[in-house]
A = this chain, B = another copy of it.
Amino acid sequence: MRIGELAAQAGLTRDTIRFYEKIGLVTGRRLANGYRDFPPEAVPWLQYVRTAQTLGFSLAEIAQTGEELRNAPDTAEALSALFEEKIKVIDARMAQLATLRAELDARVGTGCPLRAAG
């Protein structure tokens, strides 16, 4: 598919996709006329990128994940290891969120401020 359609389906602008291509976050072939041509899998991939990004991963990290996925040996082991690693990161982040949540929760109703020091 061409860049406009990918942009529409992924909810990004064409400029953003060109930027992502420049930093290696997506890759595509070129048509004879020079237009970019992306595979349909680019849509869910870019959606994953969005998600990972809001979870605190930098584009460089996400690009590296994509790279590892492409270069992984075809045994499922490499992929599983990669996923498990990401799951660990997610668990750590969730624990951190839970801590902050508990901290806030404990103060609800007590009027105890978060010491908003000046």
Q: A39-B117, A70-B118, A118-B28 are in contact. Are A108 and B96 (CB under 8 A)?
A: no
A92 to chain B, nearest CB (A): 10
Tell me if A87 and B104 are in contact (CB < 8 A).
Answer: yes
**How many monomers of this protein are in the complex?**
2
Residues of B within 8 A of A79 (CB): 107, 111-113
Tell me if A108 and B80 are in contact (CB < 8 A).
Answer: yes
Look across to chain B and name the residue whose beta carbon is closest to the beta carbon of A105: B87
Q: A45-B116, A94-B97, A117-B39 are in contact. Are A87 and B66 (CB under 8 A)?
A: no
CA distance in complex: A52, B65 (Å): 25
Residues of B within 8 A of A104 (CB): 83, 86-87, 90
